[in-house]
């Protein structure tokens, strides 16, 4: 089956009891047993739920995996991966990663002796010399957030395999429609399904997809033993979102391409970060491992004062100033104060994440309207118009 067919059919059967075409929301915590231990495969809903099982089968198919495990959020999914490790082990992570992932590594797991190091993986060969005796897991995010750097998944996985190190790829930014890390040698794929997979900004959800039965069993064990399971209604919403994943991501990518090109020629814009540009340092890698270049675009203004960035951030009407990404609606964000506020400023500046960087999650509206919205917001930049200070937003 090809992608669009899998999105709609994989793991989805009409309900055997009623014929319901859409997977029912099994809102139950427990299941009747005929006699002790004799049941229909479902005992207690932390362990199994049919709505969740259908979603797990579907996600496994979308990532060409063997099995998937669903969680109550993307960070809960990451937490389960971290629990595969033990005190003294080290995670080698890409140096420009989601702020919440960084925070979990350095503020939660470090205090239990689980080390993490953040390194430049954009030249894959760098990774080889960084792997030490304690390195047990390599953590890749690509495209990265918010600099839209690209890591060569196949090259890093080949190095990791030669050293017996596990690789987890956070595939949230690409979505399974654009990129399938298991095919490139990764052991675990993580998604914050809150983003493109759910796609409608109405649910928080996460998942892991693996191709190895033993690893799947260990993750299901951790999921059941530690309990960060999603509710059935959330699983239903994610299943519903997936039915249009390919259409939504395709349109978002098309819109992002038009917007990246528009911004690149704008006299007030200094730099646009988007992997589709031939001048992007790893454009050739993006071309090789992604189907399209994604719906995310970041940019910096020529006069890159915080005041000017705030003007743009406060004056768009279709692009809503908000955390998150990957929904049908376009969002604009300020990584330094929002998604990445939990990363120290010196660390942020090292990867080019300036105080004035603006990040767009391009939605599936009409590109002309989105450009007109950016045009009018950029128009006021540098005109000395009084704007309110952007509020200081809590780091999520
Ligand atoms: C949002 C996000 C996460 C965390 O997911 P939640 O569902 O918010 O817990 C992890 N990685 C990336 C790249 C994200 O964008």
Bridge-based pairing state of the strands 206-210 and 269-273: unpaired
Rg (CA), the chain: 21
Going by alpha carbons, the residue nearest to atom 8 of ligand 1 is 74
Residue 341, pLDDT score: 83
298 lines ligand 1 (CB under 6 A): no
Catalytic residue among 195, 211, 251, 359: 195
Residue 393, pLDDT score: 41
The dihedrals phi and psi of 148, each to the nearest 5 degrees, come to 60, 40
Residue (of 17, 24, 19, 74) closest to 53 by Cα position? 24
Catalytic residue among 46, 218, 243, 287: 46
**CATH class belonging to 3-242:** alpha beta
Catalytic residue among 98, 177, 196, 273: 98
Q: Give the N- to C-terminal CA distance of the chain in Å, as an integer.
A: 38
Bridge-based pairing state of the strands 296-301 and 358-361: antiparallel
CA 147 – CA 335 distance, rounded (Å):
10
Buried b (16+ CB within 10 A) or exposed e, 111-142: eeebbbebeebbebeebeeebeeebbbbbbbb
The model's pTM: 0.94
Going by alpha carbons, the residue nearest to atom 11 of ligand 1 is 98
Segments of the chain assigned to CATH 3.90.1150.10: 245-379
> What separation in Å is there between the alpha carbon of 396 and the centre of ligand 1?
10
101 lines ligand 1 (CB under 6 A): yes
Residue (of 67, 96, 91, 72) closest to 81 by Cα position? 91
171 lines ligand 1 (CB under 6 A): no
Helix and strand numbers (H, E) in the chain are 13, 12
CA 274, 279, 281, 285 torsion-angle sign: positive
Annotation says 170 is catalytic: yes
Residue (of 96, 205, 183) closest to 144 by Cα position? 96
173 lines ligand 1 (CB under 6 A): yes
> What separation in Å is there between the alpha carbon of 234 and the centre of ligand 1?
16
Buried b (16+ CB within 10 A) or exposed e, 333-367: bbbbbbbbbbbeeeebeebebbbbbbbbbbbbbeb
- Residue 284 and residue 164 in contact, taking contact as beta carbons nearer than 8 Å: no
**Structure-token pair, residue 278:** 């031939």
Residue 391, pLDDT score: 45
192 lines ligand 1 (CB under 6 A): yes
Planar angle of CA 143, 145, 150, nearest 5 degrees: 25
Can you point out the beta strands (E) in the chain?
A: 67-71, 90-94, 115-119, 135-141, 166-170, 188-192, 206-210, 269-273, 296-301, 320-321, 331-333, 358-361
Give, for all 396 residues of the chain, the pLDDT tens digit: 999 999 999 999 999 999 999 999 999 999 999 999 999 999 999 999 999 999 999 999 999 999 999 999 999 999 999 999 999 999 999 998 898 999 999 999 999 999 999 999 999 999 999 999 999 999 999 999 899 999 999 999 999 999 999 999 999 999 999 999 999 999 999 999 999 999 999 999 999 999 999 999 999 999 999 999 999 999 999 999 999 999 999 999 999 999 999 999 999 999 999 999 999 999 999 999 999 999 999 999 998 888 999 999 999 999 999 999 999 999 999 998 888 888 888 888 888 889 899 999 999 999 999 999 999 999 999 886 554 554 444 434
Annotation says 195 is catalytic: yes
Buried b (16+ CB within 10 A) or exposed e, 56-65: bbbbbbbbbb
- Taken as a whole, the chain contains a residue count of 396
71 lines ligand 1 (CB under 6 A): no
> What separation in Å is there between the alpha carbon of 105 and the centre of ligand 1?
14
CA 49 – CA 230 distance, rounded (Å):
10
Q: How many CA atoms lie within 13 A of 261 on its CB side?
A: 10
Residue 145, pLDDT score: 87
> What separation in Å is there between the alpha carbon of 155 and the centre of ligand 1?
24
CA 113 – CA 96 distance, rounded (Å):
22
263 lines ligand 1 (CB under 6 A): no
Catalytic residue among 67, 96, 170, 187: 170
Annotation says 98 is catalytic: yes
CATH tag, 245-379: 3.90.1150.10
100 lines ligand 1 (CB under 6 A): yes
The secondary structure element, H or E, covering residue 133 is none
Q: What Å distances lie between residue 386 and 218, 322, 390, CA to CA?
A: 56, 22, 12
Segments of the chain assigned to CATH 3.40.640.10: 3-242
Going by alpha carbons, the residue nearest to atom 6 of ligand 1 is 74
The dihedrals phi and psi of 245, each to the nearest 5 degrees, come to -55, -50
96 lines ligand 1 (CB under 6 A): no
Going by alpha carbons, the residue nearest to atom 7 of ligand 1 is 74
For residue 118, give the 3-state DSSP assignment: strand
Residue 349, pLDDT score: 87
């Amino acid at each position: 089956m090809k992608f669009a067919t899998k999105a709609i059919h994989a793991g989805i059967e009409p309900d055997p009891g009623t014929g319901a075409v859409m997977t029912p929301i099994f809102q139950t915590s427990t299941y009747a047993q005929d006699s002790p231990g004799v049941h229909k495969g479902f005992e207690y809903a932390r362990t199994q739920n049919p709505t969740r099982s259908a979603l797990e089968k579907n996600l496994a198919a979308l990532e060409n995996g063997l099995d998937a495990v669903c969680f109550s959020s993307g960070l809960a999914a990451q937490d389960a991966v971290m629990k595969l490790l033990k005190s003294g082990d080290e995670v080698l992570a890409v140096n420009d990663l989601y702020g919440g992932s960084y925070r979990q590594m350095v503020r939660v797991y470090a205090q239990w002796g689980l080390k993490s190091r953040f390194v430049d993986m954009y030249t894959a060969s760098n990774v080889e010399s960084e792997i030490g005796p304690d390195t047990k897991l390599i953590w890749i995010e690509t495209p990265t957030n918010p600099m839209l750097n690209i890591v060569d998944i196949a090259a890093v996985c080949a190095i990791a395999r030669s050293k017996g190190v596990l690789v987890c790829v956070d595939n949230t930014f690409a979505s399974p429609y654009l990129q399938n890390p298991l095919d490139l040698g990764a052991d675990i794929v993580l998604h914050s399904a809150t983003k493109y997979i759910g796609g409608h900004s109405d649910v928080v959800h996460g998942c892991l997809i693996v191709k190895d039965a033993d690893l799947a069993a260990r993750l299901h064990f951790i999921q059941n033993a530690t309990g960060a399971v999603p509710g059935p209604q959330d699983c239903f919403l994610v299943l519903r979102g997936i039915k249009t994943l390919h259409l939504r991501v395709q349109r978002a990518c098309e819109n992002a391409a038009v917007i990246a090109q528009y911004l690149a020629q704008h006299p007030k814009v200094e730099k646009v970060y988007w992997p589709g540009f031939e001048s992007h340092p790893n454009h050739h890698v993006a071309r090789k491992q992604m189907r399209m270049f994604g719906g995310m675009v970041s940019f910096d203004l020529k006069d890159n004062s915080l005041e000017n960035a705030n003007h743009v951030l406060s004056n768009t009407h279709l692009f809503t100033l908000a955390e998150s990404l990957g929904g049908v609606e376009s969002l604009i964000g300020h990584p330094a104060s929002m998604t990445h506020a939990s990363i120290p400023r010196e660390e942020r500046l090292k990867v080019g994440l300036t105080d004035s960087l603006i990040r767009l999650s391009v939605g599936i509206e009409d590109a002309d309207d989105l450009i007109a919205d950016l045009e009018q917001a950029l128009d006021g930049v540098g005109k000395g118009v009084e704007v309110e200070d952007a509020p200081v937003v809590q780091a999520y």
